[in-house]
Structure 1
């Protein structure tokens, strides 16, 4: 039994540390996943949505430090109870998501290892068994070095985790597992592997028309309708394959300009998924960089999911001399974990990507 507990201890500890680190590398992305869980169609606790980022940070740091506590044998009683409570909660969450088909990816390992809801549930069942072995055999959880050093190890782990989290929040994730990472060609990522049949992606556009919410579904074109734009969501029909990038479409008054942008040599994309919640401290950098880009012959394009009203307000407020175009909100959140953020493209290939805080590092 001692050997079994040791194996379970190593497996659970390493998995918690790995899972925590992957999510800590991209806390903003994990907060988007929590917002999905908190939304009305899933758990129906929307009052937690504004606190999603704080909850995400605290949860992943605790998850990672808990793995370290288990491996070194610190506070075994607290550790085993914390592990059990967490795994019961996550097992319920993944089962609920899988059974009711609420969330298509649990976000357990971020974008590094996407799992289906049922895969996530089976993974949690295995973890639950391992944690129960540890829970009922606490006497075999022995410290691996003198106890007097344990508190310092845990303190250092917390401080290092918070420092790393602060760094990626003020810049961008150090490890980018998304299809929009530097070096990727967007048109190539929009293609399916040979022999695959493409699934159709449906766009659901929401508008406030005379005080009532109206939803218009189509394959991507921005609807010509009188009313206040609320947002847009995408969904997949059928079980066919979808390419890594399937919801990147740039729509304006003149129609679809996606191909034009992706076939241009020098493009600066200014990505801000929401003009309502955008960080306005970043717009001095936006204005400065966009003007430099225009002087050097770049095509400057703003991408947002917010409506024309908000676009005009922001342009007027900061004296911006480029136009915003409509793009799916989920796609924009995936492109860059900054609001606003910057991408430099050359014939559709991403050559640079920066948080607004690092705008001065972009070389044009």
Structure 2
């Protein structure tokens, strides 16, 4: 009787946790991709040969996590579900243990950007949930379909279909819910301030570095500014650069000050060697005769999940964000 009660409690807790964890990552799979790139880097697991496959790997893992949570709650194929959850949690347990012991990845991304946990907190969270999963293994016979196997199957396949649709949508646009520091409505100045306990603000390493110094303060003071963010010029979508150029032209006519941020090494040549040949050629090719500035690559990737992407800022407050695929929807005042 006690095992049956514990099994049902564990079923609900584990099922809901995996659904929540899967969902907050599903709406931003690129964030998980970046996290796996960090894990597979030379300084961490030294598995760089896997880096080109991190996006499909992240998507697969996210959907499996979400679907297993649903399967557990509806009681569909309980044996397969519970043992799969056990295997998945063992992977998470290893990664979080590695982060905790070696302090290599300070945020495992288990809950995307929705909930931030320290490596220690994340590791012990997985230890606790492994206890619940062991209870599920011991109480397998008590996990029955809520209604029927047929309904369980329908809900499981519906979850897969909906997950794939959401993934497609957010990859071609932007995350449905933005949990990051650069969400619409954020006051950049306030977000860069230190907290009362001395912690660094949620926005940091953000700058518009030029040969004339950091132009961030100037940008924040503008009534209307447009930031065009490009992680690296080489990897930027070429069609996207053309579309963004058209939008930037419209914005300029409406009085927007336009700044282009990139982490490209080309900016180092401009700032430190005063070599503008590559930059001038790029500006001419894509009709982007605006202020270019260097910015930390991680900051750019955090600010927007697009390459290139657009952020509009009004008096220091983020007013809008768009993937280059949505340039027709950019709101200009």
Q: Are 1:291 and 1:321, in contact at CA under 8 Å, matched by a contact in 2?
A: no
Q: Equivalent residue for 1:290?
A: 248
For the pair 1:338 / 2:301, whether they are aligned, the reply is no
Q: More helix per residue: 1 or 2?
A: 2
Q: Report the Cα distance in structure 2 between the residues aligned to 1:21 and 1:312, rounded to whole angstroms.
A: 43
Give TM-score, length-normalised by structure 1.
0.85
Residue 312 of structure 1 and its aligned partner are, at CA, apart by: 4.3
Q: Equivalent residue for 1:66?
A: 68
Structure 1 residues without counterparts, runs of 5 or longer: 198-240
**SS state of the match for residue 155, structure 1?**
helix
Q: In the alignment, which of 158, 177, 180 is matched to residue 178 of structure 1? A: 180
Q: Equivalent residue for 2:285?
A: 317
Q: Are 1:275 and 1:311, in contact at CA under 8 Å, matched by a contact in 2?
A: no
Q: More strand per residue: 1 or 2?
A: 1
Query: Residue deviations 1:67-125, cap 9 Å, x none?
Result: 00111111112111111111111111101111000001010011110110000000000
Q: Report the Cα distance in structure 2 between the residues aligned to 1:323 and 1:312, rounded to whole angstroms.
A: 11
Query: Residue deviations 1:127-151, cap 9 Å, x none?
Result: 1000011112211111111112222
Residue 340 of structure 1 and its aligned partner are, at CA, apart by: 0.6
Q: Report the Cα distance in structure 1 between the residues aligned to 2:207 and 2:127, rounded to whole angstroms.
A: 39
Aligned-pair Cα RMSD in Å: 1.3
Q: Are 1:272 and 1:304, in contact at CA under 8 Å, matched by a contact in 2?
A: yes
Residue 186 of structure 1 and its aligned partner are, at CA, apart by: 0.2
Q: Equivalent residue for 2:55?
A: 53
Residue 310 of structure 1 and its aligned partner are, at CA, apart by: 5.9
Aligned length: 320
Q: Equivalent residue for 1:233?
A: none
Q: Equivalent residue for 1:204?
A: none
Q: Report the Cα distance in structure 1 between the residues aligned to 2:319 and 2:10, rounded to whole angstroms.
A: 44
Residue 321 of structure 1 and its aligned partner are, at CA, apart by: 2.1
Residue 14 of structure 1 and its aligned partner are, at CA, apart by: 0.4
Q: In the alignment, which of 324, 328, 333 is matched to residue 360 of structure 1? A: 328
Residue 313 of structure 1 and its aligned partner are, at CA, apart by: 4.7
Q: In the alignment, which of 203, 206, 213 is matched to residue 245 of structure 1? A: 203
**SS state of the match for residue 184, structure 2?**
coil
Q: Equivalent residue for 1:169?
A: 171
Q: Report the Cα distance in structure 1 between the residues aligned to 2:61 and 2:177, rounded to whole angstroms.
A: 20
1:62-141 paired onto structure 2 within 5 Å: 62-141=64-143
Query: Residue deviations 1:281-321, cap 9 Å, x none?
Result: 21221110111111222111100000227644532432322
Q: Are 1:190 and 1:243, in contact at CA under 8 Å, matched by a contact in 2?
A: yes
Query: Residue deviations 1:183-234, cap 9 Å, x none?
Result: 111011111234x43xxxxxxxxxxxxxxxxxxxxxxxxxxxxxxxxxxxxx
Q: Equivalent residue for 2:225?
A: 267
Ranked by relative contact order (alpha carbons within 8 Å, sequence separation 6 or more), the top structure is 2
